[in-house]
Amino acid sequence: MSNGILYVVATPIGNVGDLSPRAREVLSSVSLIAAEDTRHSGKLLQMIGCNTPMLSLHEHNEQHRSVELLNRLQNGVNIALISDAGTPLISDPGYGLVRELVAHGIRVVPIPGACAAIAALSVSGLSTARFVFEGFPGAKPNKRRERLRELAHESRTLVFYEAPHRLQETLADMLDAFGAQRRVALCREITKLHETCYYETIGELVKRATTDADLSRGEIVIVVEGVPEAESTAIPLAAEQVLFTLLEDLPAAQAAKLAAKLTGAPRSELYERAVKHKSAKQ
Ligand code: SAM
């Protein structure tokens, strides 16, 4: 008997019209649907008149479910994987399962569709030539700040997911890591009634977050401009971190001189970076 196929099926992120005809067909023709939350997905399946049986696959049971699903696939059963919204595995469960199936030579077929990160990027007005998907920046303040600082010199466009209740603190941390002038597209409620995209700098968004309650309502993607290529590579990251630490207490020229002594990086470039860093913070 030949193995079954796992279909990784994207579902809408707010507008049911975004479920593709092919996704409908696959969901109705497979023998089983593995869903992140069977109650949540039950509503979508009901809406499209699909009666395929479901079982849950979420972060807490993914490991043992993967063994179970592998077994069924090896017995010729075709299965679809869906998450609550958008593309499974993208800040959603499924990676453990797909990794296991690929390792066992099971065919995994994508049924592409909505993905909030790609939808936001496509309307961000920021470079799409090269981008980095960062997912959620994290709930723990120290870790989140560290992660953002590590990205401060990334030249590719950055794409983040964020929960509404953490938006204000994350924007404040972005201000600290990226400076006030960095351009951002903040897209909320994509494909839904209150869909809005704000095209502003981080400094402007931080201010807006304190006055405009709508900004942090609903689901949010933050797309951040990367730094110009030349700036991102001229000085090693460690030297720059030394420089930024010194800048907290010293004027640009002194901080650059000291950072050059400590790290061996060129003083003129450190000075240039120090001036830019200071003006971005104002
Ligand atoms: N797998 C999904 C995808 O393909 O986009 C993402 C799942 S992740 C758990 C949920 C996050 O995606 C939300 O917190 C938000 O950051 C983003 N998101 C999902 N739907 C969205 C929408 N309609 N508008 C804006 N952001 C959305």
Domain with 22 in it: what CATH number? 3.40.1010.10
The torsion defined by the Cα of 189, 194, 199 and 201, in degrees rounded to 10, comes to -70
Domains identified in the chain, total number: 3
Give the pLDDT score at 231. 66
Whether residue 10 is predicted with pLDDT greater than 70 in this model: the reply is yes
- What gap in Å lies between CA 182 and CA 205, rounded to an integer? 10
Helices 167-178 and 202-211 meet at what angle, rounded to 10? Answer: 160
Cβ of residue 221 lying under 6 Å from some atom of ligand 1 = yes
| 8 Å CB contact between 220 and 154 | no
User: Is a pLDDT exceeding 70 seen at residue 232?
Assistant: no
Nearest CA residue ID for atom 16, ligand 1 = 161
Number of neighbouring beta carbons within 10 Å of residue 268: 10
Question: From ligand 1's centre to the CA of 116, what distance in Å?
Answer: 5
Which stretches of 102-230 are assigned E, i.e. beta strand? 107-111, 131-135, 157-162, 183-188, 196-201, 220-224
Query: What pTM, to 2 d.p., does this model score?
Result: 0.85
For ligand 1, say whether the CB of 18 is within 6 Å of any of its atoms.
Answer: no
| Six token digits for residue 110 | 């994508």
Classify residue 232: in a domain, yes or no: no
Same domain, 145 and 103: no
253: containing domain: 237-281
Question: Which of ligand 1's atoms lies nearest the C-alpha of 188?
Answer: 25
Same domain, 128 and 218: yes
Higher pLDDT, 279 or 75: 75
Cα separation, 268 vs 253, whole angstroms? 9
Q: Which stretch of DSSP H or E encloses residue 26?
A: helix 21-29
Ligand 1 proximity of 156 Cβ (cutoff 6 Å): no
In this structure, the answer to whether residues 36 and 108 fall within a common structural domain is yes
48 lines ligand 1 (CB under 6 A): no
**Which segment of 17-21, 152-156, 232-236, 254-258 scores lowest on mean pLDDT?**
232-236
Q: Say whether both 35 and 131 belong to one domain.
A: no
Domain finish residue from 95, 114, 133 = 114
- Do 250 and 212 lie in one domain? The reply is no
CB 138 within 8 A of CB 144: yes
pLDDT > 70 fraction of the chain, expressed in percent and rounded: 98
Probe residue for ligand 1, chosen from 220, 222, 224 as the CB with the greatest number of ligand atoms within 8 Å: 220
Joined together, the tokens standing for residue 77 give 């059963």
Residue 251 has pLDDT above 70, yes or no: yes
**51/92 same-domain check:** yes
Domain co-membership, 218 together with 147:
yes
Distance 211 CA to ligand 1 centre (A): 24
In a domain, 148, yes or no: yes
217 lines ligand 1 (CB under 6 A): no
Last residue of a domain, one of 114, 149, 177: 114
What average pLDDT score do residues 136-145 get? Answer: 96
Q: Is the pLDDT higher at 277 or at 61? A: 61
Q: Are residues 170 and 267 in the same domain?
A: no
CA-to-CA separations, 226 to 168, 183, 223, 240, 243, in angstroms, rounded: 21, 9, 10, 17, 20
Average pLDDT over residues 130-142: 97
For ligand 1, what atom is nearest to the CA of residue 187?
25
Give the long-range contacts of residues 198-204, CB within 8 A, separation 24 or more. 199/125, 202/171, 202/174, 202/175, 202/178, 203/175
Are both 95 and 131 inside the same structural domain?
A: no
Q: Can you tell me the mean pLDDT for 248-254?
A: 93
Name which of 102-106, 114-118, 145-149 the model is least confident about: 145-149
Could you tell me which of 221, 18, 72 has the C-alpha nearest to residue 9?
18
- Residue 195 maps to which CATH number? 3.30.950.10
The arithmetic mean of pLDDT across residues 260-264, rounded, is 86
126 with 95, same domain: the answer is no
CB 53 within 8 A of CB 33: yes
Residue 208 phi, psi (nearest 5):
-60, -35
pLDDT band of 1, cuts 50, 70, 90:
confident
**pLDDT mean over 153-161:** 96
Give the per-residue pLDDT at 132.
Answer: 98
Residue 229 lies in a domain: no
Each residue's pLDDT tens digit, 160-196: 999 999 999 999 999 999 999 999 999 999 999 999 9
User: Does position 126 have pLDDT exceeding 90, yes or no?
Assistant: yes
